[in-house]
Amino acid sequence: MRIEVPAAIEERDLAHRPLTPDDLKHRTQPLVLRGLVSDWPMVEAARVSDTAFARLLAQTDSGEEVDVLLMAPEEEGVIGYNAALDGFNYEHHRVPVTQGLKRLAAYSRESGEVPGLAVQSALMRRCTPSLLETHRLPFLAPSIEPRLWIGNRVTTPVHFDEYHNIACVTCGQRRFTLFPPEQVGNLYIGPLDFAPTGAAISVARPDRPDDPRYPRLRDALKHAQQAELSPGDALYIPPMWWHHVASLQRINALVNFWWRPVQTEGASPQTGLGALLHAIVAFRSLPDAERAAWRTLLDHYVFDDADPLSHVPDARKGVLGEPTAEDIAALRERIRDYL
């Protein structure tokens, strides 16, 4: 059976057209940014050797403990569930960055299969604060903080983030396989409220498209886009795009930036997942006619681009107009009363 080869993600030649904030503001497709962070100290050290990279991080380690996942060799480095889907396939630890690096170095010297190890979402402001100023993106607001991810040959299964995301490879290589949001029905996503590291993941593996348990996965792969990134390269991932990330070397590192632009302070919730979970509880078990009625209301007030209150003066449109931060705060209190 023929295996679908994902299309290449579009690339930007930064030498001829530098990136600006407006380039990503309304972008709906992923974009590879070759060499975006090639002048970062971490990248320059990684080009010398893995040891030079690790030494730089160790020298700047504040001692702050970070989240580390440790997987048995038989898990093949894939973060996920245990066989019964009633727990996860890793041990969770809190250790300083340097301790994680020492363990990675030890594994790199072993022959055969080794445990998978992944430092997850470590705020550089806390764990490597002296590197903060030299590892930023000038077109992003200073409040958008870089996070550090380090590991060996580990894989993060298909998942999505609600935020704009720029992922910058600083050591090793990573393969990104992306799927547009509408492929959710073909990706076999696990429980929304019980997921490794908090992000709902696919229980199907894109590298195993012939698994008979997941026949629709092949349809998803027809819409996939893929790119391999080396140190200094970056990838822009739009909100809600599903992505599968495979680290390919014995030591890999990535720095990412998440952000969500808002027009009114407080207007955008910290996470839309809470709203989704509440909608499931509120609507999914209703009789068909009531569910259809609520679907109509949600389309009308939330998802339709037309102004549902065009017949009402602007000053009286409330949350559907141009609410102030105070209006949003009052509405949040009202929502808490409902709950």
Segment 160-204, tens digit of pLDDT: 999 999 999 999 999 999 999 999 999 999 999 999 988 899 999
Backbone angles phi, psi at 5, to 5 degrees: -100, 115
- Report CA-CA distances (Å) from 79 to 53, 152, 188: 24, 12, 16
Tokens of 42: 């971490």
Give the model's pLDDT for residue 219: 97
Q: Is the pLDDT of residue 18 over 90?
A: no
Q: Which of 17-21, 148-152, 297-301, 317-321 has the highest mean pLDDT?
A: 148-152
Q: What is the pLDDT of residues 244-283, one digit of tens each?
A: 999 999 999 999 999 987 654 544 456 788 889 889 999 9
The structure's pTM equals 0.90
Q: How many CB atoms lie within 10 A of CB 139?
A: 13
Tokens of 204: 């199907």
Backbone angles phi, psi at 131, to 5 degrees: -95, -5
Give the model's pLDDT for residue 221: 97
Give the model's pLDDT for residue 266: 46
Q: Is the pLDDT of residue 100 over 80?
A: yes
Instruction: Compute the Cα dihedral for 163, 188, 68, 269 and give only its sign.
Output: positive
CB under 8 Å to 279, separation ≥6 — which residues?
A: 298
What does the buried/exposed string (b/e) look like for 308-330 if buried means 16 or more CB atoms within 10 Å of the residue's CB? eeeeeeeeeeeeeeebeeebbee
| Helix or strand (DSSP H, E) at 106 | helix 97-108
Name the DSSP letter for residue 196.
G
Give the model's pLDDT for residue 262: 60
How far apart CA 256 and CA 238 sit, in angstroms, is 13
- Report CA-CA distances (Å) from 246 to 151, 158, 220, 309: 11, 10, 18, 47
Query: What SS3 state is found at 63?
Result: coil
